[in-house]
Structure 1
Amino acid sequence: MNKLNILIAGCGAVGCELGRQLTSMKCFNVWGLRRNISKLPSGVHPIQGDLFQEEGLGQWPEHLDYVVYSAASDGSSEEQYRRAYISGLQNILSRLTKKNDHPKRILFTSSTSTFHQNDGEWVNEISETCPIKLNGKVMLEAEALLRNSPFPTTAIRFGGIYGPGRNRLVNRVLKGEGCPKEPLIYSNRIHQKDCAGIIAHLIRRDMDNLPVDNLYLGTDSDPATTHDVLQWLGQQLDVTLDNVNYPSPPSSQQGGNKRCSNQRLMETGYKFYFPDFKAGYSGLLHDR
């Protein structure tokens, strides 16, 4: 069987983990495009390039079977967001069109920031999206750009990504910063390894001619309250948290208050490495 060529455009933390998973399957040639290729994992073919420069995307293989766009913004300004998720994606789509290349599918790492719901309600792939914040608006625009391209596409809206090097909540707990139990503020998360696992799983389904939708929610199976997550982390780290003087849970400031359903993803047969925050953070805390 001839190996399939996969390009990971914007091969950062999630992209590198995806590269490791795909190369282990032995049926893919994996190419990673990023500015600093020294950080690519072994087995991933390096492409030194800049997503933000249409003529600076490096040397690609002659044909690509799959493309994964997994860029991250360099900052939180509108210009930085639009460069990462609109301009960069447009450059990749333009390059594919000019090469007359027709990948089987393009997969895009989007975000649950596209949702505006803020009352703890459940949301899924058909829920209304009217984001107020910049990041959600830009992600919706990027999804539309992808959807209107001439290629089969899938966007995966990931929740709060955590994993090696992503220690925001752990650092908060180590400083003793908790939050009140009420009002209930729900947060959604996904381990970095499962971000990559979901993408790899959907690529394998597509290879096997099984149905792949154009949108999935990529969150684990436990949209727990921020209070519960912080309290559990405090117990594991033997830290007593101040739940009085830190009244604004980080989720209410950053990601809203909603519960994301991963039912559509689960129906594809995906098996989580870390189905809830306790499983995911246990490994991270053990490795500290």
Structure 2
Amino acid sequence: MTARHLFILGLGYSASAFVRRVRGDYASIGGTVRSAEKARRLRAEGIDALVFDGVTPSPAIGEAVRRATHLVQSIAPDSSGDSALRLYRDAILAAPDLAWIGYLSTVGVYGDQGGGWADEASPPNAVSERARNRVEAEAAWTALGEEKAIPVGLFRLAGIYGPGRNTFVNLAEGTARRLVKPGQVFNRIHVDDIAAVLEAAADQRAGGIFNVTDNEPAPPQDVVAFAASLAGYPPLPDIPFENAQLSPMARSFYADNKRIANGALKSRLGVELKYPTYRDALSALWDSGSWRG
């Protein structure tokens, strides 16, 4: 069996969970981080971490990309486009053993569906600049895969949570609120389920679109109420959305109202979610004490 080498552009929260899951499956694992301190810490753990500021090309990163058999991009694009493609497109095309690319995107590309359902066959309906940038990046990575004749998986992630990033943390910090916007729902996904989907897709060299989301879109205030009940907090008051003081970024998330279907990860990858609903995930986080991270 040919040795496999994984390289990840952007070793953030989700990508790091993937690395923890597949540590024994690759001859080498490397990736980019933003700080020298984080790079040193990861190298001490056996991860070949390299610093990438999104602007300056690095010969070391280029060489790591050329060595990869599996490449994952998790750095969000900006108004200038996808930084990894801008700086390392030639290295990717020159990688002799590269067999698969995974691109971490967002369900935000579906835009507002008026509370209706969107699945992998639904066309993007991006309105915000962030979502339009994602659509453009998805198309650019797909085109690169076609040029190189390798599969590219597009993973459209719902709201991500897990250890250290969850409603229990917000409750403990006093930032949790029950914002109520009638009819509003969101999908979510536990970070461990993201890792499982990426593992299956990388192993199968699966291309195409996958909605990485739980089975139950739900009102955000219901999630807060459930977590508060588990943790023994008194019920939080309802705050009408129109009265809430929110940052422009936070308010923008409420502009899109949609339910996301996740059929492809089940039918094409054979993945059964460990946490199919927020209740399953929050209960596990609380019972294990892992919510703190």
| Range of TM-score over shorter length | 0.7 to 0.9
**Match for residue 106 of structure 2 among 93, 103, 111:** 111
Structure 2 residue aligned with 1:273: 274
Give the aligned partner of residue 224 of structure 2.
230
Q: Which residue of 2 aligns with 1:53?
A: 56
How far apart in 1 are the matches of 2:102 and 2:175?
38
Q: Over aligned residues, Cα RMSD in angstroms?
A: 2.7
Which residue matches 1:23? 23
The reply on whether 1:44 has 2:43 as its aligned counterpart is no
Q: What is the distance in 2 between the residues matched to 1:214 and 1:53?
A: 30
Distance 2:221 2:51 in 1: 43
Asked whether 1:219 is paired with 2:237, we answer no
Q: CA 1:92–1:163 in 2, change beyond 3 Å: closer, same or farther? A: farther
Q: Quote the residue 1:158 is aligned against.
A: 157
Structure 2 unmatched ranges of 5 or more: none
Q: Confirm or deny: 8 A CA contact 2:7 2:72 kept in the other structure.
A: yes
Of 197-206 and 43-52, deviating more is: 43-52
1:245 Cα shift? 4.7
In structure 1, give the amino acid aligned to 2:108: S
Q: How does 1:159-178 map to 2 (within 5 A)?
A: 159-167=158-166, 170-171=169-170, 174-175=174-175, 177-178=177-178
Among the aligned pairs, what percent are the same residue? 22
Deviation track 1:8-33 (CA, whole Å, cap 9, x = no partner) reads: 111122222211111133x4421222
Cα offset for 1:56?
A: 5.3
User: Normalized against structure 2, the TM-score is what?
Assistant: 0.82
Relative to structure 1, the CA distance from residue 142 to residue 102 in structure 2 (aligned partners, 3 Å threshold; closer, same or farther) is farther
Check whether the contact 2:186–2:258 (CA below 8 A) recurs between aligned residues: yes
TM-score, with normalisation over the residues of structure 1? 0.83
What residue is the counterpart of 1:67 in the other structure?
71
Distance, in Å, in 1 between the alignment partners of 2:53 and 2:279 is: 37
Report deviation, 1:224.
Answer: 1.5
SS at match of 2:67: coil
**1:115 to 1:165, Cα distance in 2 relative to 1, 3 A:** same
Q: 1:220 to 1:38 in 2, by over 3 A?
A: farther
Out of 153-162 and 243-252, give the one that drifted further: 243-252
| C-alpha spacing 1:226/1:3, structure 2 compared with 1 (3 Å) | same
Kept after mapping to 1: 8 A contact 2:70/2:99: yes
Classify 1:169/1:108 alpha carbon distance in 2 versus 1 (closer, same or farther; 3 Å): farther
Which residue in the other structure is 2:283 paired with? 282
CA distance in 2, matches of 1:175, 1:239: 14
Task: Name 2:89's counterpart in structure 1.
Answer: 93
> Higher mean Cα deviation, 260-269 or 222-231?
222-231
Q: Relative to 1, partners in 2 of residues 1:224 and 1:66: Cα closer, same or farther, differing over 3 Å? A: same
Aligned residue in 2 for 1:184: 183
Cα distance change, pair 213–126 in 1 and its aligned pair in 2 (3 A): same
Q: Which moved more, 1:43-52 or 1:99-108?
A: 43-52
Residues 125, 159 of structure 1: CA spacing in aligned structure 2 closer, same or farther, 3 A cutoff? same
Q: Which runs of 5+ in 1 are unaligned?
A: 74-80, 207-211
Contact 1:33 1:47 in 2 (8 A): yes
Paired with 2:224 and 2:235, the residues of 1 have a C-alpha distance of: 10
Rounded Cα–Cα distance in structure 1 between residues aligned with 2:48 and 2:220: 40
Looking at structure 1, the residues matched to 66 and 127 of structure 2 have their Cα atoms a distance apart, in angstroms, of 41
CA 1:31–1:154: 2 relative to 1, 3 Å: same
What is the distance in 2 between the residues matched to 1:54 and 1:5? 21
Paired with 2:208 and 2:237, the residues of 1 have a C-alpha distance of 43
**Given the superposition, is the C-alpha separation of residues 57 and 89 from structure 1 closer, same or farther in structure 2, using an over 3 Å criterion?**
farther
